[in-house]
Every structure is written in C-alpha cells, then in structure tokens.
Amino acid sequence: MLKKIFSSGTAKNVIINTLGSYIGIAITVLSVVILARTLGREVYGELAVLFSFAYLMTNILDFGSPAIIYSQVPQYYLLPSRSNLYSFIKSTFYFQTMACAVVIVALLVLFPTLDRSFFKTHAPYSALALTAISIALYVWQNTISNMLFAMKRFSQVNIWLNVSYVVRTVSLLALIPLGLVTIPNIIFLFGVISPLVFIVCIYFLYRPSFEKVRRAKVELAMIRPRYTLTNFIAQQFFNVGMRMDLFILSYFGLKTVVADYSLSQKIILTIISTVVSITQVLSPSYTHIKTRVGVMKEFRHSMLFLLIPTALFLSLSLVPAPLYKLILTAKFIETPLFSAHLGIVYSLYCIGQVFMLFLLYTFRKPSYLLISNIAFFVVVTIACYFLIPMYRGSGAIYAIGLGFIVVILLQAAGFVREYAKLK
C-alpha cells in the first residue's frame, strides 16, 4: 500500500513541492542566521513584528482566494476553451488589487499611530511605508503561485521562488560590508525586490497567457462571493489568532522575549511551509469525494503525508541548545526552549489540516471553519493577555496550544456530522 501511494502522481508532486520548499527553507534559514548575527536583539524583534504584520495583512488581502482557486482552476484548465480560466484569473487579481490599494493608502496614513499605540517598534516611517507596499507584492506572488499550483505547475513555481530567495540573500550579504543592514533596507529587499523578481520571471515565462488574461473580462460571479467571503472571514480569524502571541508580547514591551520568540516562530513557519506544500498538492483531490469510502481513503492518505511535518515539529525537542548558540549566537538565550515547546504545540496543527480540508473542499461548509476559527482567535487572544504577563514567552505557547485543541475539537465535530450524511 505504501509503495503504491508513494509511487503515485500525487506523491511525485508532493516530493517536488516539498523539495522545493526545503530548498527555500534552507535559503531562508541562511538569511535568518545572517540577520540574527548582524542585528541587535531588540532590532531583530522590531523587524520580526513588522514582517509578521505584513504576512498577516497578506493573508487578509488574499480574501480567501486559495480555496476558490483550488476548487475552480483545475476545472477551467481542463476545458477546451480557457476563456473562463483567464476571466477568473483577471477577476481575482482585479478585486485583490483594488483592496490592496485601499489598505496601503490607509496604512501610509495610519501606520505611525498604529505603531506608537500597539506595535511599539519605533521603526522609522520609511520602514513602515515599505512594509505597507510589500503587502501588495506578497499578495500577487501568493496568488500567482496558487494559480500555477492548481494547474500542477509545481516545478516552475518552486524554481523561481528559490531564485528570488537567492537574489535577496546574496543582496543581503552585499549590504553587510557597506554597513547598510538597516530595517528599511531589509524590508525593501525581502518585501519588494524578492517578490518582484519572482513576478517578473513568471511574467516572461508565461507572457502569452498574461496577454490573454489582460484581454479577459472581469466577472464578480466567477469568484463565488458567498463561499469565498465565508472562508475569507474564517481564515482571517485564524491568521490573526496565529499572530496574536507575538503582537501581545510586543504590546507588553517584552522586546528581548519578542526577539527570542520570533526566531523560534520563524523556525516553526519554515516547517509550516512544508505543511502548505503538501496540502497544496492534496487539496484538488478533496473536491471529487462523494462517499464515506472515499473520505476514509483520503483521510488515511493525507495523514500519511502529514506525518512528515509532524515529525519535523516534534524533532525540535531533540535539537541541542548548543547548536542554536552556534548558529544564532548566544544572545538569543530563550530560543532553544521556545522552539522545542512550539514544536510540540504545532504538531497539533498538522492533525487539524485534514479536518479543515474536508470541511472546505469535500463538504463545502466553510461555516464550520468560521465558528472554529473565531473560537481559536478568542481563546488565543484572551489566554495571551492573561498568561503572557505571568509566564512571558511560555504563556504565549500555552495560549496557542489551547487554541489548537479548541479548533481541532470543533472541526472534528463538524467533520463527523457531515460524514454521517454521506452514502
């Protein structure tokens, strides 16, 4: 059975996408090490907060599009005429771009006040402005990637993403002897140059298709607003909940803890990229399941692949502290402990992905995700607010763990309820 699964087309795509992700992780880790060894502890913490905000806003401005992309693009792509595909792509980009423009303008005006009252990074306005601009570029990069993933173009996406990572890492190394490793320059490099390199490369690779997209019609109905909006709201509660630990640590002024915790969180996020690379390949399979037999087959199939990132999360408990000190220097003293504990907590994240995929793509009931993700956000926020003053970084880990348990239980209940309705 294992041989059959791992020799399938799905397995090959998982291997390609996961290998590409690991190469990207390796390049990203190198960048993190360079920054950790170059920047002061508090400065690194400030940079981490700004990037976390940029990634959060990127997920918000996706407007739940990954769900509709993976459910619609494979169907449009197989049609003899691809006019619907080009119209869908243009419609998605059109509404995302309009939303990005509004948010960026608002941030350019309000970001300094927001930073003084909540984030408290005290970064220069140029860094805040570049953070706002980077959001639109990250949104475009993610949407292009998801569109191509839905067409099973895994190799091309991973190649050009990693090329962009190499460009930013080499450029970062070039800034060091010039004494130009500052927060604005780093954000410009990581949030503007890197995604632009990817977008430009993909444009020249698929230039004829881009021209067809440019001439296509914009149709709101194609992005299925009701389904997309429910999933969008659900995802935002989850995404914001996932960032509340770092934001509330920053709110309480624990700058050195923010630095150590953000490095651990960076390690966790690199492993989450492995989870994402697997679910990106698995997602289209969920849309065709109609029976209980099909559900249980895909459940076992998915859990088998997700054991890989689960093992990676748990393995963080086995990494010796001296290795962190060797790579990141001794100044990030709490990073080893935070990483080990976060690894245990985030192993639950892998389990929850299976229930989420079934509810979103097989049962098409994003309302379950909305309820569970609201609960996640509320639990994490309240728990962080009360636990962080008492337990500092460990309090944030307890809060995230409690949130994962709540969301998994609620989504599992929804899964059981919908499973019972199948033949």
The DSSP line for 219-251 is -GGGG-HHHHHHHHHHHHHHHHHHHHHHHHHHH
347: CB partners within 8 A, 6+ apart:
310, 313, 314
pLDDT in tens, 370-392: 999 999 999 999 999 999 998 88
Q: What is the pLDDT of the chain when averaged over all its residues?
A: 84
For residue 62, the SS3 value is: coil
pLDDT in tens, 92-118: 888 888 888 888 888 888 888 877 877
pLDDT at 167 over 60: yes
The residue-averaged pLDDT of 193-218 equals 90
Q: What percent of the chain has pLDDT over 90?
A: 26
396: CB partners within 8 A, 6+ apart:
245, 246, 248, 249, 261, 384, 387, 388
Q: Is 383 exposed, middle or buried (0-12, 13-18, 19+ CB in 10 A)?
A: buried
How confident is the model at residue 2, as a pLDDT?
Answer: 46
| Lowest pLDDT segment from 16-25, 298-307, 406-415 | 16-25
How confident is the model at residue 8, as a pLDDT?
Answer: 54
Q: What is the pTM of this model?
A: 0.69
Nearest Cα to Cα of residue 163 among 201, 189, 137, 136: 201
How confident is the model at residue 288, as a pLDDT?
Answer: 75
How confident is the model at residue 88, as a pLDDT?
Answer: 85
How confident is the model at residue 174, as a pLDDT?
Answer: 93
Tell me the pLDDT band of 64, cut-offs 50, 70 and 90: low
The residue-averaged pLDDT of 174-203 equals 92
pLDDT in tens, 33-42: 888 888 877 7
Q: Which two tokens stand for residue 269?
A: 């996020």
Instruction: Say if CB 222 and CB 86 are below 8 A apart.
Output: no
Rg of the chain, C-alpha, whole Å: 21
Tell me the pLDDT band of 232, cut-offs 50, 70 and 90: confident
pLDDT in tens, 75-87: 777 777 788 888 8
How confident is the model at residue 5, as a pLDDT?
Answer: 47
DSSP string over 288-311: T--SHHHHHHHHHHHHHHHHHHHH
Tell me the pLDDT band of 229, cut-offs 50, 70 and 90: confident
The residue-averaged pLDDT of 296-310 equals 87
How confident is the model at residue 1, as a pLDDT?
Answer: 47
Instruction: Say if CB 255 and CB 392 are below 8 A apart.
Output: no
Nearest Cα to Cα of residue 142 among 255, 64, 247: 64
How confident is the model at residue 343, as a pLDDT?
Answer: 92
Query: Between these two residues, 333 and 146, which has the higher pLDDT value?
Result: 146
Instruction: Say if CB 298 and CB 285 are below 8 A apart.
Output: yes
Query: Between these two residues, 29 and 164, which has the higher pLDDT value?
Result: 164
Instruction: Say if CB 62 and CB 142 are below 8 A apart.
Output: yes
How confident is the model at residue 94, as a pLDDT?
Answer: 86
Tell me the pLDDT band of 73, cut-offs 50, 70 and 90: confident
Between CA 106 and CA 112 the distance in angstroms is: 11
Q: What percent of the chain has pLDDT over 70?
A: 95
How confident is the model at residue 41, as a pLDDT?
Answer: 73
The residue-averaged pLDDT of 111-126 equals 80
The residue-averaged pLDDT of 236-256 equals 82
Instruction: Say if CB 135 and CB 58 are below 8 A apart.
Output: yes
Q: What ranges do the domains of the chain cover?
A: 2-419
